[in-house]
């Protein structure tokens, strides 16, 4: 099941992602490959997965970037199944498991970017699944691996384990109280990055932040995951404290703000993607703080479905920004 | 029935008011009277009305300003039954008919300020009723009247007929399209004033404007009323045109705006008086333009009941501004 549809009782942690970067030994890194080499390497990796007699019994759908429509490309990005960078590579492709929990990007920055994405706080489970797929590929292909450095990657920041463990957190109270920048810089001292929803440089619309390890070298996979967990738990604690304090000191303000957000989402006839996310974030916070009651919609799913390409995808055609804002408002008010 | 509860199918004209200014011949004007003279003149006028064997079969409640609570004073002002000026006079009083359609202010700027206020567009009906009361007083008391100038008044701008004919209009489209200032100055060229809700200098929150004659001398009562009607009809025509053009060119914008206003009023937990009026004005416009449907509340009544003192009056106690904003939001969302 795609991550945002999974049942998730955590009031702060939205989703978990494990990413492994791998390269084949007998090819140069993608930025130095010919198109023909890229196609050949991709075929080898695809076959190693599809032809394996392993516990990996998933079936995959492969999207070849040059054959994928603009809307599909953006929908996959909005669902976090691929990185924006993948779209810039004409010879790249992505294998997506039928249950949407696994995506294997080929010829992005590295030959293989294997990604497991699950709803809720499931770092261990996601890592175990990623490892199993990693083993399956490793059985039939030879990875670029160095005894001293570990897995070699195109960019040195991924060398070593090639592991990025990320957790998506909803941090409205820390944002509202202007504590988020302090959190970001102090996490950074521990080698942990706090970023917006779509990775580096992106803004945290909807108060969703990705917490992930910056360092992949010199620590074991387990150590990296424990480190991320440790910081995530601390940030969650801070967020809970901030919510508690806000609730004690600004209850009336919050109640008014959350109900207004609900009223606007319930009645507006036009909503920009940014406004929709901001208001949905308020409602999620209100629901989690038990100020708003009787809201049973999956609000994170609504945030994803409110993204521009998801709206166009639903409409089945290109839309002007105005048409999109109208359809977004309609979609949200019918589902809230 | 008080004016804002009357059934009114007009989509622009909210209410009608006729005011007659009169003074007794055997007293100086109020600004030159002793307290004793004020009390005596007030008693004479009261008796002339209460003891008359006339068609004027109404019963009255008299409020003596110095004995009236602050909340009652403000509620009477908010309902337009008295002028803010009356409250400044310690010896002043007001007789209010049981059906709230008639108010007779004593010792305000003039000895008598007789006022008929009706819901909808009823200038002739209001003037006839005012005339009948005027005749009743005239039967037993002697008015300050000059053959050349007509009725004498404390301020020369009211001398002559002593008549002010006003119509309260809801002009959201002219306001939205920034045409209102042009309307105000052009009406002024015809001796007609366009003012905010509470008279001179007050702002037109909720896009409610009072249209009234500036000149009381040199024209007969009928001529004054015709003149006001003429301008009111023209302004109504302009408002209707502006609504039509907005509807043709900005339908989507309006629809979104009106529904958002509804959503906010339906869900907000705190509303200032000004915000409530602005949003209610949007909803009235949306209802009249048939963009918002199924709204059956009396929205003008809600605007009046949303005024600060009306809220306090309903609560039965003094409230802080925060408490008032919360009660206002509750009152509105329960009634919309």
Any B CB within 8 A of A293 CB: no
Is A252 in Cβ contact with B267 (below 8 Å)? Answer: no
Beta carbon pairs, A and B, within 8 Å: 55
> Does residue B180 lie within any of the structural domains?
yes
Q: Could you report the per-residue pLDDT of A277-334, keeping only the tens digit for each? A: 999 999 999 999 999 998 988 999 999 999 998 899 899 999 999 999 999 999 999 9
> Does residue B235 lie within any of the structural domains?
no
Return the closest-CA partner of residue B311 out of B71, B117, B60: B71
Q: Distance (Å) from the C-alpha of residue B270 to the closest C-alpha of chain A?
A: 6
Task: Give A 252-281 residues with CB within 8 A of chain B.
Answer: 252-253, 255-256, 259-260, 262-270
A283 and A139 in a single domain? The answer is no
Q: What is the domain range of residue A327?
A: 251-333
The pair of structure tokens assigned to A191 is: 């080698």
Return the closest-CA partner of residue B122 out of B219, B9, B198: B9
Q: Could you report the per-residue pLDDT of A134-172, keeping only the tens digit for each? A: 999 999 999 999 999 999 999 988 999 999 999 999 999
Give the pTM: 0.88
Q: Could you report the per-residue pLDDT of B159-191, keeping only the tens digit for each? A: 999 999 999 999 999 999 999 989 988 999 999
Any A CB within 8 A of B321 CB: no
Helix, strand, coil percent content, chain B, rounded in steps of 5: 50, 15, 30
| Residues B286-321 as b or e (16 or more Cβ within 10 Å = b) | bbbbebbeeeeebbbbbbbbbbbbbbbbeeeeebee
A115 and A167 in a single domain? The answer is yes
Return the closest-CA partner of residue A194 out of A176, A212, A173: A212
A81 and A125 in a single domain? The answer is yes
Question: What's the rounded Cα separation, in Å, for the pair B302 and A297?
Answer: 33
pLDDT at residue A45 in the model: 96
Is A262 in Cβ contact with B269 (below 8 Å)? Answer: no
Helix (H) / strand (E) containing A21: strand A13-22
Q: What is the ipTM of this complex?
A: 0.84
Q: Distance (Å) from the C-alpha of residue B305 to the closest C-alpha of chain A?
A: 20
Question: What's the rounded Cα separation, in Å, for the pair B96 and B116?
Answer: 10
Contact A155, A224 (CB under 8 A): no
Other C-beta atoms within 10 Å of B227: how many?
17
> Does residue B237 lie within any of the structural domains?
no
| Residues A152-190 as b or e (16 or more Cβ within 10 Å = b) | bbbeeebbbbbbbbbbbbbbbbbbbbebbeebbeebeee
* Candidate from B263, B269, B329 with C-beta closest to A267: B263
Question: What's the rounded Cα separation, in Å, for the pair B169 and B166?
Answer: 10
A255 and A193 in a single domain? The answer is no
B156 and B57 in a single domain? The answer is yes
Number of domain units in chain A: 2
Q: What's the alpha-carbon Rg for chain A, to the nearest Å?
A: 21
Return the closest-CA partner of residue B102 out of B94, B90, B93, B110: B94
A68 and A195 in a single domain? The answer is yes
Angle between helices A273-288 and A321-335 (to 10 degrees): 20
- CA A116 from chain center: how many Å? 9
- CA A50 from chain center: how many Å? 25
A136 and A34 in a single domain? The answer is yes
Average pLDDT, stretch A249-276? 96
What is the SS3 assignment for B17?
Answer: strand
The pair of structure tokens assigned to A96 is: 């997506």
Q: Which of B149-153, B215-219, B254-258, B271-275 has the lowest mean pLDDT?
A: B215-219
């Amino acid at each position: 099941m795609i991550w945002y549809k999974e049942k998730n009782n955590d009031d702060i942690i939205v989703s978990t992602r494990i990413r492994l970067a791998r390269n084949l030994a007998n090819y140069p890194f993608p930025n130095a490959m010919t198109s023909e080499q890229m196609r050949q390497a991709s075929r080898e990796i695809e076959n190693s997965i599809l032809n394996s007699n392993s516990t990996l019994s998933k079936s995959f759908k492969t999207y070849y970037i040059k054959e994928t429509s603009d809307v599909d490309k953006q929908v996959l990005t909005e669902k976090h199944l691929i990185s924006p960078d993948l779209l810039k590579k004409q010879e790249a492709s992505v294998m997506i498991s039928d249950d949407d929990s696994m995506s294997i990007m080929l010829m992005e920055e590295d030959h293989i970017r294997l990604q497991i994405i699950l709803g809720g706080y499931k770092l261990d489970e996601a890592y175990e699944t990623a490892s199993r797929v990693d083993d399956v590929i490793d059985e039939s292909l030879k990875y670029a691996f160095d005894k001293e450095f570990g897995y070699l990657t195109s960019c040195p920041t991924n060398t070593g384990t090639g592991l990025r463990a990320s957790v998506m957190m909803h941090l409205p109270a820390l944002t509202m109280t202007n504590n988020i920048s302090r959190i970001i810089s102090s996490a950074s001292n521990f080698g942990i990055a706090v970023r917006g929803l779509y990775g580096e440089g992106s803004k945290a619309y909807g108060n969703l932040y990705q917490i992930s390890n910056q360092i992949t070298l010199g620590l074991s996979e387990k150590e990296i995951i424990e480190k991320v967990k440790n910081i995530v738990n601390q940030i969650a604690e801070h967020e809970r404290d901030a919510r508690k304090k806000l609730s004690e000191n600004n209850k009336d303000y919050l109640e008014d703000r959350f109900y207004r957000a609900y009223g606007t989402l319930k009645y507006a006839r036009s909503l920009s993607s940014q406004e929709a996310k901001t208001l949905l974030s308020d409602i999620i916070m209100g629901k989690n703080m038990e100020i708003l009651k009787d809201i049973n919609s999956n609000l994170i799913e609504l945030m994803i479905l409110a993204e521009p390409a998801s709206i166009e995808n639903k409409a089945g055609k290109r839309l002007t920004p105005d048409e999109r804002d109208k359809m977004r408002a309609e979609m949200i008010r019918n589902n809230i």
